[in-house]
Every structure is written in structure tokens, then in C-alpha cells.
Amino acid sequence: MMDLSLVQLAWAGVLCWLGLGLAALLVQRLRGLLNLIFPLGAIVALGLAAIGAMALLGHASAIVLPIGLPDLPFHLRLDELSAFFLILLGGAAFGVTLYAWGYFRHQESGSLALLLLWYHLFLAGMTTVLLADDAYAFMVAWEVMALSSYFLVTTDHDQPDIRRAGFLYLLIAHVGAVALLLCFGVLQGGGVEGAGDYTFDTMRLAEMTPFWASVAFLLALFGFGAKAGLVPMHVWLPEAHPAAPSPVSALMSGVMLKTAIYGLLRVTFDLLNVQLGWWGALALALGLVTALYGVIFAAVQSDMKRLLAWSSIENIGVLLAGFGLTLIFYTDGKGALAALSLTAMLYHALNHAFFKGLLFTGAGAVLHATGERNMDKLGGLMRVMPWTAWLTLIGALAIAGLPPLNGFVSEWLLLQAFLLTPGLNQSYLNMVIPVAAASVALAAALAAYVMVKFFGVTFLGVARSGAVAKAHEAGWRERLGMIWLAAGCVALGLFPAQVIAALAPVVRLLTGQTLVNDGSWFLLAPVDAERASYAPLVFFAVVLVTLLLVFIWVRRVYHGRIRRADPWDCGYPEQDARMQDSAEGFGQPIRQIFSSFMRVERETPDPFDRHPRYRGDSRDKLWVLLYQPIADVAAWLSDKAGRLQHGRIQWYLIYSFATLIFLLVFVTR
Amino acid sequence: MALSYPLQVVNLLAALLLLISFAMLSQRRIAGLVTLFAVQGAALSLSTAIVAWSTGQHHLYYSAALTLGLKVFAMPYYFFRLIRKLDVDRDVEPMITIPTTMLIGIVLVIFAFNLAMPISQMSGTVTRSTLGIAMASVLLAFLMMITRSKAIPQVIGFLAMENGLFFAATSATYGMPMVVEMGVALDVLVGVFVLGIFFFQIRETFDSLDLKHMEKLKER
């Protein structure tokens, strides 16, 4: 046992997943065995998380696998950065897979077997992305991840909308992959003369000029940004996430987007040995735009999963802003501050994996129970599905950034990092960054608004349609998965000092410094206990005590004086479920304030209409401004190119002939 | 410098090859085309054998034998059978009139010779001067494919192009490695059989072997 290195164990986990996926195809006639595959996959996920945790403490280990093309073996390496993301992947995948076990219980065998294959291939692909130590293995794993998730997104491919969403996803994934390929090409091209391999080791040794380093960085930002959902490459996200089955959305949003963040960190801090300050400023600006754009659109959605998808865009924006800030500090020589913002960013990545996984699974449970994604047709589900509602509430509170849950810790750390920028040597950045901090705060506040809407409209109030009446509580397997994710949210919120200590090796690897925690085990004080500190356990205790007191007070004192009388209904003699605030109505103020960001299509009924119908649709303006022109140009060019197609073989031969003659003339020059 | 006797024969055969290429361009009947193709194959085989004999490159004998078997006997026989079965030995109407085609062909030959001049100066083989001819016959075969609208002449054009390439290979570098030659020969054989099957399919679908009917297959 001892002679197996951790990276070999991790690779064994990948092989287990691959084996499970293939086994699913073999045993598709045996339903009993087929149902066992999800729990086995979940155990593998937990094992990988454990391997990641061990690797975080130990040293990096590497192996070379003799697979792939001749002379191009796969290089795998498990260092601290990979280990951290491996924990993230394993931890979130464990909960989501348990959930999926229940969620797909009634799926028809044939399609379930295929789904199991793609699901495990997807997990294996993501893990290999994290382990890859050469560009070739990385790209292969990256494409496996993209393709398998494409097939997962299009699970219900009989619906045209879903096929369209899948196509959009695949298209943008490939444009991004091309950028990554070019990026690795640039990194390798700057490498040592004669070293013809594509290992990351060769790239690390490369001495790059600032120009080529910038080219590599921009390509990486574009390529990974396309996968992460960075504005303006975010358009696939709000389409693909609602189209995918909920456990898949949970994995895509919680884990797959993080692999892009991983790649960005890997390329920028590990593979490139030059970093420039303006990259950080660019990433920061893009991140803030993404965060605000995402949260504003999240606020006006009525579709649960679309809302969550936009919220993922917002979180990716926050992560990217943290990344940009880290770069700014790092290039400015402020190692301790870089460590602080990197810690905040990694922490937030981990948090997002858990709470977004939880929210997507919660939304999936509602969708499964009611068959309805439109929040305007839901409501009052808390009474029917109390487990789902309470667990989703934990996720909603966490993502809204309320203490003592995990979302608060990372956002607080990030804001701390922002507030410390006056120490920078660049005066213009000093002046601009408070605005950035304000934007992050605005995004956080709007995220809370979005969550009030999501939770309030879906679970509180009374039912808005018959779909709710036949709703049922999620099964125990689903609940188990959600409980795991919720427990993660709570634990990450209550023990930040321990989490930060665990993150220290990763941060040291990338920035050369670690975050010094001034506080004791229960107190979080990243910079200076005098300046700012946070004790989640104390806070939690105070919250609990206050709640308890209020509860007792209401029960004993208030309810004791209750009077039941026929009310005069405040002028509403007939109360109707439609009088509640709707999702549409809740988002209205945001739509009004930020109307310039979106293209609103509205059909308002005539005042004298007997059967008034109202339709409002807020579209992404970037579709019209950016994607439509590109699509038009592409269509125009293909139309022109289509004229080459005559259907006459002679003409086609003439094309080849002319090309041949042209090339021959060219050669003789 | 006086050329050695075998080399003069090779040059003669090269000229014959070019002449046959022009003859194919001007030939209207399909059966005539097939005969010309067989003659071209024979010339090619003979020249390869002579090169093999004069330079002592033994593997070229195999190439020569392969060419003789495939291009002089097997394929022409197959084509004659096809023509009988499909009953297509009528006059071929070229898309461009034959005199025009010939003129274009002359331009191509001049172009090919011009092109081959610097290359053949670099080449050290005894047969280097024939490189221009080889290239010209490739281009002429291509031209034939373009100007014919029936399916069988097109395939013959394709095979004639392969002949030209083969000749280029022997004249410039004493032939390709044996493995490559075997592979190419097999490819050509399989390709001809597949195309033969296609002929039947095309005629079944369009009641004719005229490829202009395939215009219907385009997207818009």
C-alpha cells in the first residue's frame, strides 16, 4: 500500500469511474446492478476527496502513463493546487452522486445506462484535467469533459430547445478549447530549444518575453473564460444549465466551472514565470462586470434553474475578481495580501461548489416533484416538501452571504482584501479599486435579493397552480445527498480558521506566502485582530440563542394573547393565490433600474381586454449586440461559400486543378 | 554528351507516354480510351523495367511486373467488361471542344517543363530529364477528367494521373519504396472496383452515366 503514490491512487479512482461507466452499459439489463453504480461512484468520489486531503499535506507526486500517442505519454502530477481542486470535486460529487442515485431511480434502463456512462466519464474527465501534467493529457481530458457534459446536457434530446442549448454549449466549449490549444502552443514555443515535448515542466522552464507571456495569458483567459462563463462568453450557461438534468447542472455549475478557474491559476501562476500587473486589472474588471451582469439577470428570471445559472455567472465573476486582485497584489510585491485574496478566492470556489450544488439539487427536487421550473407556478412548497425546503434554505442563506454560513466567510475575506488596497504602489489603481469593492458589495447584496426571491416565491406563500398539489417530498437518497452538501456549507462556515490552515499549502505554492491567521482556533482574523475579526461559532451561538428566545417569546407571550376573529381583510375580501408577489413582480424593480442592460420584450394587454394576458421577457442584450452580428457574418460567408457548390464534378475538379497549378507556380518562385 | 542506349529508349518511351496522354484527350470513344490506357500502362511498365535493368535497382522489376499485370491486363479487361455490361460505348461529348482542349494541353506541357527544369537539375538520376514529361502527363490526365462528363472516362483520367505520378517517381528517384508501391497499387485496384460498383448505382438512379445529372444532389 505504501509504495503507491497518491497520484497513482487518484488515477486508480479515475479508472474506477471509467470502469463503472462501462459496466453500466454491460449490465443495463440487470436493473439491480444498474442501481448500484451511483452509490459506488459516490464512494469513489469520497475516496478521491480523501486522496486530495492527504496530498495537501504531503509532497507533489507524479507518474508517466504509457497511454496516448506513441512518444506522447500522459504525464500526471498531483500537487497542492490539484489536491485542493480534487477535494472540491470529490466533496461536491459525493453529495451530487448520492442525490443522482435517487433522482434517476425511475429512469428507463437503456437511457439510464447511457447517462451513467456519460456521468462517470464526465467525472473522470474532470479529475484528469486536474491531474494532467502535460498539455496533451490536459487537452484530451478537457475535451472528454466537454463532450461527456454535452451528452449529459442533451439527455432529453427529443426537445428542440434542449438540442439548441446543447449545440450552443458545444460551440462555445470548442471555441474556448481552440484558444487553450493556442495558449499551450505559445507556452511550449517559448520553451527550451529542442525540448519537443508538451509537458508542463518544459513550459515552466520557458523564459518568455512579456509580449508572448501576455499573449498566452489572454488566450488562457479567453479559453478558460469561455468554459467558466465569463461575460461575454457566458451565453451558453443560462441555456445549458436549465436543459441539463438537475444533478448534472449541479456538477457543471459546482465543479466544472471550477476546472476553468483551476486552469487559469495553473497557467498564470505555475506555468508562466512572468506576471504583469495589467493582467490583474483586466481580470478584475472582467470579473466585476461578470458578477454584476450575472446577478442583475438572475434577479429578473422566473425560471428556477435559469436563475441559478445566472447566479453561477455572478459567482464566477466574484472568483475572477479575486483572481485579478491576487495578481495585482502579487505583481506589486505584496505577498501577504496576495495570499489573503487568493485564500478568499479558493475558499469561495469551494463554497460555491457546495452551495450551488445544494441549490441545484434542491431546485431539481422541486422540478422532479412538480414538473415545473417556472416559479410563478410554484409556491407554498415548504409545507409539502419540508426537508427540501429547509436544506435549500441553508444553501440560499449561504449563497446570500449570511453568517454563520460559508458564503459569508469568503466574501468577507475578499472584501477585506479589497479594503487593504491603499497599500498599493500604483496610485490610479488605488483610486479605482474602492469602486471595485463597492461593486463586489453590490453584487453580494443583489445575490441576497435574488435568493430571497428564489426561496420566497418557490417555497413560501400558497400554491400558485395545481402542479404543487401533487408534489411529494424528495426520497431519502436525494435527501442524503442534499444533507451532505448542506453539512458542507455549515462546516465550512463554522470552522474557517481550520479551512484556511488547510489552504495554506496551496497558497504558498502559488504566491510564496501564506495567510497568517492572528486569531485562535475559533476566531478568524486574517490581517490583524485589531483590524477585523470574525468568530463564527460565537456568532452562531448568539443567533441560536436569539432565535430560541424569540421562539419562546412568540409561543408563550404572543400566542398566549391570540384572538381569533373574522377579519375585515384589509379591503381584500377575496384572497387569491395570484395576489402574492410573483417572481416576475419581485424582479420588476431591478428590471426598471437596470433596463439599459437588457432587451425587454413586453406585451401589455389592452385595458378593455376581457382575457388580459401579460407577457414580459428580459433578454440578454449581448445576443443582439455581439452574437447576432457574428452569426450574420458567418451566415453571409457560408452563403457565399455555398455558391462554390455546383453539383458538377467537373467544376470541383477545376477547383483542385486551379489550386494545384497555383501551388506549383508558388513553389517555383 | 551522348546518351546511353537504354536512356534513349526511356526518353522515347517518355515521349510516347506524353503522346498517348494527348491521344486520350482527343479520343471520343470509351473503348478507344481503355485501349490507350492499356498502351500507356505497357509503355510505363517497359520504361520501368529498362530503368531497373540499366541501374540495377531490382525492386523496380517488381514494380514493372505489377504495372504490367494491373494496368495492362486486369483493369482494361475489367473496363471492357463494364462497357459491355453497361452498354455505354457511345461517343463521348466533351464539355470543351477537342481542339481547345489540345491547346490548353500544350500550355500545360510548357508549364510543366518550365516547372520541372530546376528540379531535374537537382536530381541526380539518369532519367531526370523525363520529370517534365511525367508532370505534364499528370496535368493532362487531370485536364481530361475535367473535360469529360461521363463517369468511366473520369476514372480512366484518374488512373492515367496515377500513371504519371508513377512515372515521376521512377524517373526522379528510381521509384518509391516497395511498400508504398504495393500500397498504391492495391489502392488503385480497390478504388477501381468500388467505382465500378458506383457506375451501376449511378445508372440505376439516373438512367445514365452522365455526371451532370448529379447536379440534382446539391444542397440548394
pLDDT digits 0-9 by tens, B90-138: 666 667 788 888 889 989 888 888 887 777 676 665 556 678 888 888 8
A131 pLDDT band, cuts 50/70/90, is very high
pLDDT digits (tens, 9 = 90+) for A416-430: 888 877 667 777 777
Can you read off the three cell numbers belonging to residue A317?
465573476
Q: What pLDDT score was predicted for residue A572?
A: 61
Q: Is the pLDDT of residue B19 over 80?
A: yes
B1 pLDDT band, cuts 50/70/90, is very low
Choose among B95, B139, B220: nearest Cβ to A650.
B95
pLDDT digits (tens, 9 = 90+) for A225-252: 999 988 888 889 998 998 899 999 999 9
What's the complex ipTM?
Answer: 0.79
Cβ contact, residue pair A647, B216, below 8 Å = yes
- On the question of a cis peptide bond just before residue A404, with omega within 30 degrees of 0, the verdict is yes
Q: What pLDDT score was predicted for residue A1?
A: 41
Sort out which chain A residues have CB atoms less than 8 A from B142's CB and list them. Answer: 653, 656-657, 660
> Under DSSP, is residue A598 helix (H, G, I), strand (E, B) or coil?
strand
* 3-state SS record for A511-545: HCCCCCCCCCCCCECCCCCCCCCECHHHHHHHHHH
Q: Is the pLDDT of residue A657 over 70?
A: yes
CA angle A652/A654/A660 to nearest 5° reads 110
pLDDT digits (tens, 9 = 90+) for A460-504: 888 888 777 788 888 899 999 999 999 999 999 988 888 888 888
For B46-53, what is the mean pLDDT? Answer: 86
A527 pLDDT band, cuts 50/70/90, is low
For A69-91, what is the mean pLDDT? Answer: 88
Q: Is the pLDDT of residue A599 over 80?
A: no
Q: What pLDDT score was predicted for residue B126?
A: 58
- Angstrom distance (rounded) from CA A23 to CA A479: 26
With residue A30 as reference, give the H or E element that holds it: none
Question: Counting beta carbons within 10 angstroms of the beta carbon of residue A452, is it exposed (0 to 12), middle (13 to 18) or buried (19 or more)?
Answer: middle
For A4-19, what is the mean pLDDT? Answer: 89
Does A495 or A598 have the greater pLDDT score?
A: A495
DSSP label at residue A565: -
Q: What pLDDT score was predicted for residue A190?
A: 66
Sort out which chain B residues have CB atoms less than 8 A from A645's CB and list them. Answer: 218-219
Indicate which of A651, A653, A669 best probes the interface with B, i.e. most B CBs within 10 Å of its own CB.
A653
Q: What pLDDT score was predicted for residue A595?
A: 80
**Separation of CA A505 from chain center:** 24
Q: What pLDDT score was predicted for residue B178?
A: 67
Q: What pLDDT score was predicted for residue B127?
A: 59
Question: Counting beta carbons within 10 angstroms of the beta carbon of residue B14, is it exposed (0 to 12), middle (13 to 18) or buried (19 or more)?
Answer: buried
Sort out which chain B residues have CB atoms less than 8 A from A661's CB and list them. Answer: 111, 139
Which pTM was predicted?
0.78
Q: Does A596 touch chain B (CB under 8 A)?
A: no
Q: Which of A19-23, A33-37, A270-274 is the most confident on average?
A: A19-23
Q: What pLDDT score was predicted for residue A121?
A: 95
Indicate which of B114, B142, B216 best probes the interface with A, i.e. most A CBs within 10 Å of its own CB.
B142
Q: What pLDDT score was predicted for residue B219?
A: 61
**A72-86, A354-368, A594-608, A631-645: lowest mean pLDDT where?**
A594-608
Q: Is the pLDDT of residue A383 over 50?
A: yes
Cβ contact, residue pair A668, B154, below 8 Å = no
For B157-182, what is the mean pLDDT? Answer: 77
B48 pLDDT band, cuts 50/70/90, is confident
Q: What pLDDT score was predicted for residue A302?
A: 87
Q: What pLDDT score was predicted for residue A250?
A: 94
Q: What pLDDT score was predicted for residue A318?
A: 94
Sort out which chain B residues have CB atoms less than 8 A from A646's CB and list them. Answer: 215, 218
A362 pLDDT band, cuts 50/70/90, is very high
Q: What pLDDT score was predicted for residue A186?
A: 87
Does A100 or A380 have the greater pLDDT score?
A: A100
* CA distance readout (Å), A115 to A20, A91, A648, B26, B174: 12, 21, 44, 62, 57
Q: Is the pLDDT of residue A328 over 70?
A: yes
Q: Does A646 touch chain B (CB under 8 A)?
A: yes
**A73-77, A282-286, A462-466: lowest mean pLDDT where?**
A462-466
Choose among B118, B146, B212: nearest Cβ to A657.
B146
Cβ contact, residue pair A648, B216, below 8 Å = no
For A54-65, what is the mean pLDDT? Answer: 83
- Gap between the terminal Cα atoms of chain B: 62
Give me the residues paired with residue A199 across strands. Answer: A134
- Angstrom distance (rounded) from CA A630 to CA A104: 39
Q: Name every residue whose Cβ is closer than 8 Å to that of residue B118 and which is 6 or more positions away in sequence.
A: A668
A94 pLDDT band, cuts 50/70/90, is very high
A–B: how many Cβ contacts below 8 A? 43
Q: Name every residue whose Cβ is closer than 8 Å to that of residue B10 and which is 6 or more positions away in sequence.
A: B47, B50, B51, B54, B127, B130, B171
Q: Backbone phi, then psi, for A605, in 5-degree steps? A: -75, 160
Q: Which amino acid is at A298?
A: A
Q: Within 10 A of B149 (CB to CB), how many other CB atoms are there?
A: 19
- Angstrom distance (rounded) from CA A140 to CA A148: 12
> Under DSSP, is residue A646 helix (H, G, I), strand (E, B) or coil?
coil
Q: Is the pLDDT of residue A384 over 70?
A: yes
| Conformational region of residue A209, where left means phi above 0, alpha means psi within -120 to 50, and beta covers everything else | beta
**A86-90, B3-7, B113-117: lowest mean pLDDT where?**
B3-7
Minimum distance, in Å, between the CA of residue B57 and any CA atom of chain A: 30
pLDDT digits (tens, 9 = 90+) for A161-194: 899 999 999 999 999 999 999 999 888 876 555 5
- Angstrom distance (rounded) from CA A82 to CA A263: 10
> Under DSSP, is residue A235 helix (H, G, I), strand (E, B) or coil?
coil
Q: What pLDDT score was predicted for residue A525?
A: 73
Minimum distance, in Å, between the CA of residue A273 and any CA atom of chain B: 47
Sort out which chain A residues have CB atoms less than 8 A from B139's CB and list them. Answer: 660-661
Does B170 or A77 have the greater pLDDT score?
A: A77
Asked whether A292 and A440 are in contact (CB, 8 A), the reply is no
Q: Name every residue whose Cβ is closer than 8 Å to that of residue B77 and which is 6 or more positions away in sequence.
A: none
* Mean pLDDT over each residue of chain A, to the nearest integer: 86
Q: Which amino acid is at B195?
A: L
Q: What pLDDT score was predicted for residue A192?
A: 55
> Regarding beta strands A615-620 and A598-603, do their DSSP bridges make them parallel or antiparallel, or are they unpaired?
antiparallel
Q: What pLDDT score was predicted for residue A2?
A: 47
